Amino acid sequence: MRLNELLENLARLNITLSVEGGALHINAAKGSLSLELKEQLINHKDELIKWLQAREVNENRPSLPDIKHDGVNRYTAFPLSDLQVGFYMADDPYMEYQVRPHYYMEFNRIDFDIARYEQAWNKALRRHSGELP
């Protein structure tokens, strides 16, 4: 059983867990802990302690600010990011070194022969550097 399944099962049974001084504490109604469930708690004890401690750290972080509707500035344009400014500037035909933004894509190829691909690139590089005719 995975940790999230165990936690869901504990929540369904109204069993709560806590960590105090690095020790796992279980709060359950009498008879709700079966032998199988006790065994799962023992097997996942270290994971449960780590999960509870991480959760405690996250709960102590300051919360994010509330988002509020700003109807007055609804149609005001956002400032351009640095990358957008770079694209905007580079696309100017009056710039000395005009470079238009490029399009980048990745594909997962099942039948891709990496060794052959590497050989082809190395051959092209050797030809470019003058090693090959």
pLDDT tens by residue, 84-119: 877 777 667 776 666 666 677 788 888 888 899 999
CB neighbourhood size of 17 (10 A): 19
Tokens of 89: 């500037």
Identify the pLDDT of residue 10: 87
Is residue 17 within 8 A of residue 50, CB to CB? The reply is: no
- Higher-confidence residue of 80 and 63: namely 80
Q: What value does the mean pLDDT of the chain take?
A: 81
Q: 66 falls in which pLDDT band (50, 70, 90)?
A: confident
**Is 90 exceeded by the pLDDT of residue 62?**
no
Mark 113-127 as b/e (b = at least 16 C-beta within 10 Å): eeeeeeeeeeeeeee
**What's the farthest any 2 CA atoms get from each other in the chain?**
84
Q: What per-residue confidence (pLDDT) applies to 120?
A: 93
- Count the helices and strands in the chain (H runs, E runs): 5, 2
Classify strands 16-20 and 23-27 as parallel, antiparallel or unpaired.
antiparallel
- State the pTM of this model: 0.43
Separation of alpha carbons 77 and 81, rounded Å: 12
